Amino acid sequence: MNQEKSECHYPGCKENLLASSKKGHCIFHAEREEKDTREFNEALENYVNQIKAKDLDYNFRNFIFVGHTNFRSLFNLTVSKDIDFGEAEFYGNVNFAGVKFKKNFLCREAEFHGDCFFIGAKFYGETYFERTGFHGKTWFMTAKFHEAVYFMRTRFYRDARFEGAEFRGRAFISPEFMKEKVFFTRATLENISLTPLNLDKDWTAPL
């Protein structure tokens, strides 16, 4: 990997500097055009393995992901620690299908530029997608949210599908920024809080 020994300039990051980064960042915080997809995926796998070995929380804050990312494979279907994707950017499809998140899932102000798969994922802690943008198609079919989930000011620019999803905790959803349809057919909504919306335009209501 094309890196020097000095550390990334991103606050709190101890990763090695990527030589091609103009702002002095590591391979995770460098701009997408500054890094190679294959090298990034190798570094990401090593990073995840180090977190598992040290029993740490997962910190992906401000990471810039390139290429398709298969978290289902990286996490081996279970995440036992808090996970933070705050302000991360994803350039490529992202797969979380079937992953069990045992603790809190934090994904505030992230941007998903490709398609995103949460089919059958299970969220056992609190879940935050506040002010996050989903620019591709998004699938949450049959996902289960056991604690509070926050979709406040979340932006879905294409179809978002929640068919068969279960919201067991309180759900906070504000659809005023949504550009396309959001489908909740056969979803279980036990305690949902909505800001004003136009049902005729914005949503397909659960049956």
Terminal-residue alpha carbon distance, the chain? 52
**Token representation of residue 119:** 């089919």
**Token representation of residue 189:** 């909504």
Instruction: Note the pLDDT of residue 205.
Output: 46
* Of 139, 149, 145, nearest in space to 182 by CA: 139
187 and 104 in a common domain: yes
**Token representation of residue 6:** 């000095």
Total of domains in the chain: 2
Instruction: Note the pLDDT of residue 185.
Output: 84
Owner of token pair 């406040």: 152
Q: Give CA–CA dist 94/34, Å, rounded.
A: 20
Q: What is the pLDDT of residues 5-26, one digit of tens each?
A: 588 999 989 899 999 999 999 9
Instruction: Note the pLDDT of residue 196.
Output: 52
pLDDT at 133 over 50: yes
Strand 138-139 versus strand 155-156 pairing type: unpaired
User: Which pTM does this prediction carry?
Assistant: 0.87
How long is the chain? 207
Q: In terms of residue numbers, what domain contains 27?
A: 1-57
Does residue 62 lie in a domain region? no
71 and 42 in a common domain: no
112 and 78 in a common domain: yes
121 and 25 in a common domain: no
The region, left, alpha or beta by phi > 0 then psi within -120 to 50, assigned to residue 164 is left
197 and 104 in a common domain: yes
106 and 165 in a common domain: yes
Does residue 115 lie in a domain region? yes
Of 73-77, 89-93, 127-131, 185-189, least confident by mean pLDDT is: 185-189
Q: What is the pLDDT of residues 25-81, one digit of tens each?
A: 999 999 999 999 999 999 999 999 999 999 999 999 999 999 999 999 999 999 999
195 and 98 in a common domain: yes
Does residue 87 lie in a domain region? yes
165 and 114 in a common domain: yes
